[in-house]
Structure formats: structure tokens, C-alpha cells
Structure 1
Amino acid sequence: MGLIVDTLGHLLENEAAYGEKIQAGLRFLRDTDFAGQAAGRHEVDENMFYFINEYETKDAGECFWEAHRVNLDLHYILEGTERIGYAAIEQLAVKEEYSAEKDAVFFTGALESAVTAGPGALVVCYPQDGHMTGIEAGRKEAVRKVVLKIKL
């Protein structure tokens, strides 16, 4: 599989097309009220945790590429709009080797492809998907989103 870009509603309508863990993640996002939850890490169970991220978008030159090996990323936009860059990790150069503690490897590379994600959008990043988040979509904007991490 590769990067998936859609809305939570559409993905839920077709959830049978996805594995059991992603289906559980989609239902979790649907059933959880994130309003009023503090920014930072929140535990769900042994297979899932999430971050509430709040930031202002910026120029792509100030953002960074990353990918993960242990967890899938489900980026669910609550407020604001951002662009999320994507590239196969083979197209990027390793900047910082994999850290098991962070479950991340960081890359450098040109931004050639990006999607625009606004409220309700969901972007699923697999281990082979290098992704760059927080890119401004025409102007700087405050973004609040959930990044649900699902253990593979």
C-alpha cells in the first residue's frame, strides 16, 4: 500500500477494504471527541497512541521529511489547512539514521508532490511513505490535528 488521502467519512464507508488495525483506527477517530484535549501524547492501547499537534504552517523549506518503521501515521485534520508532502523513501536521501526511540528516520529531498488537507481530511502514511507536514497552503495558518500511530 501507499499513501492514502481521503476524508474520515469516505474511509469509514469503505473500511472493509482496510486491515483490522486501520479499521480500528478509523473507528477510534470517529468515536473520539478531541475538543478540549491538550496538545501532546495520549495513550489508547498497546497498538495505538496519538498526538494532538498544534502549530502554524510554514514554508516547505522550513519543514522536514520523515518516515516510520513500527507505526502507521494517520493524520486527521481537526482545524486549519496544511499541505503534506509525500515521496517514496527511495527518492529521498537519509539525513538522520533511524531512531527506534522516535520510530523515525529523517530525510532530505526536493518537494515534488503534496496534497492539501483541511478539516476532516485524513492522510494515511505507510513506512515507505516519506512525508513532510506543516507546509503552508497559500498562507500561514494555525493547524490542530490528530496523528494516530498504529503499530504494524
Structure 2
Amino acid sequence: MPGYSMKNALLKFGSFVLLLAPLGCKTSSPAATQATTAEEWTPKKADKWFRSRVWANGLKLNVQESVDKVEFAKQYAANKAAWDKAFAYFRDTNLEELPVGKYPIDGDNVFAAVTDNPTKEYADTKWESHRKYIDMQYVVRGAEKMGQVPLASATVTKPYDEARDVANYSAEGPQYEAKPGTIYIFFPQDVHRPNIKAPGFDKDKKVVVKVRVAQ
């Protein structure tokens, strides 16, 4: 029958189109999705995220304004579980009573080191950076100054030592007075100079939490 033949042909054509449709669809690979997500962190968006304090999870301490907010947002998004454990450690641990030593938080991904030492004259400190781990430096008691400059503006004086995860530099840059209440976060592109003597303080107790860099 002509009507039946036409109907049958249309059904076959529709099935053919449906079979071809998936071939024309493009799906994003996980890598592409991750890259797109990373590109979405504009300075404005990262600043808004930073000020929302969604990363703090109830932590009352502040993160210093000099932090690279875009990198902070990217690293937190890429490794949220590790960052949440790091901030929870600051929130839930009695840092005043914590003895000097090293403390595992999440295996090799997150760990803490507690020191209680005299601070140093500027000339006796060094500019440094790390590749494997991000520094979260917090002065529990006392005070010290910390310098910070972009990696691009520093000159290497001692090449990167993989075993110690450190390189040293010569540089000129601002110094911040670190006191209780504020965490300083240094990413691999942040050359920093900690342990500088602050006026009126000869020593400080400090906790440095190391968070593995998300690749």
C-alpha cells in the first residue's frame, strides 16, 4: 500500500537520523572540563569566593589579604578534601598547647610542623619557594615579619632541591607583620621570607601546615 510504504520509509529515515545524532555530539573530557573550570576563576570571581569564606568551614582565623586568591580558589577546588582537613586542623586543635614537633593530618598530603624559636635578623633569613607543597604559616604566639614577592621577580641563588622541596632567591619586596589571628598562604609562585624579627618580639611559636600542590 502506498500509504504504508511512505510511513515505513519515514520511520526508517527517523531511525537513521537517531543513529547518526550521537556521532555529531561532542562531550567534554574530564581534562577539558577541569581546564574550563580553572579558566573560570577570574580575579573578580576569586575575590568574591575568598570573601564568602565558604572555604573556612567555621574557622574564625583569617587568611592574609596578600594571598593569591585565584590560585587559592583553583587549588581549593582541585583538592577540597585536603584543604578542608587543613582548615579543620587550625579550627579544632589547641595550638597554644600543642608541643613542638611534626603532626600528620592526611598522610603525605597534609601535615603540620610546630616550632617555638627565636626569630632572626633580616640578613640571617632567606627567600624561598616550594614546588610540591603549599605553605600555610600561622603565628600562634609572638610575632614575626614575612616577606613575599612573585616568583617572576626573584633571582635564583640556590637551585631547587627536590629532597628538601626548596629553592632560594635574592629579591626585594614587602614585608608583613604576622601575628595571631591570620594565616599566610604561600603557593609555588610565591617566594617568601619568613622568620624575620618583628619590633618588640624576639621569638614566636608557629604552626606551618603543608598541603600538597594539586596538579
TM range (shorter): 0.7 to 0.9
- 2:168 is aligned with 1:106: yes
User: For residues 77 and 10 of structure 1, what CA distance do their matches in structure 2 show?
Assistant: 11
2:144–2:198: 8 Å Cα contact kept in structure 1? yes
- % of aligned pairs identical? 25
Q: Which moved more, 1:20-29 or 1:93-102?
A: 20-29
**Counterpart residue number, 1:117:** 178
**Counterpart residue number, 2:140:** 78
User: For residues 147 and 127 of structure 1, what CA distance do their matches in structure 2 show?
Assistant: 15
1:76–1:146: 8 Å Cα contact kept in structure 2? yes
Q: State the TM-score, normalizing by the size of structure 2.
A: 0.60
Q: Cα deviations across residues 16-47 of structure 1 (Å, max 9, x unaligned)?
A: x8511333311111111234433232222221
**Counterpart residue number, 1:67:** 129
- Partner of 2:205, secondary structure, is strand
**Counterpart residue number, 2:192:** 131
Structure 1 pair 10/78, CA: closer, same or farther in 2 (3 Å)?
A: closer
- Partner of 1:27, secondary structure, is helix
1:11–1:26: 8 Å Cα contact kept in structure 2? no
**Counterpart residue number, 2:103:** 42
Please state how far the C-alpha of 1:79 moved relative to its aligned partner: 0.3
User: For residues 159 and 112 of structure 2, what CA distance do their matches in structure 1 show?
Assistant: 23
- Partner of 2:131, secondary structure, is coil
Q: Cα deviations across residues 62-103 of structure 1 (Å, max 9, x unaligned)?
A: 110111111110001100011100011121111211112111
Please state how far the C-alpha of 1:121 moved relative to its aligned partner: 1.7
User: Partner letter of residue 189 of structure 2?
Assistant: Q
Q: State the TM-score, normalizing by the size of structure 1.
A: 0.83
- Partner of 1:9, secondary structure, is coil
Say which of 60, 72, 80 aligns to 1:9.
60
1:79–1:118: 8 Å Cα contact kept in structure 2? yes
Listed as ranges, the gaps of 5+ residues in structure 1 are: none
1:50–1:147: 8 Å Cα contact kept in structure 2? yes
User: For residues 58 and 10 of structure 1, what CA distance do their matches in structure 2 show?
Assistant: 25
Larger Rg: 1 or 2? Answer: 2
**Counterpart residue number, 2:115:** 53
Deviating above 4 A after TM superposition, structure 1's stretches of 4 or more consecutive aligned residues are none
Structure with greater proportional helix content:
2
Structure with greater proportional strand content:
1
Please state how far the C-alpha of 1:140 moved relative to its aligned partner: 4.2
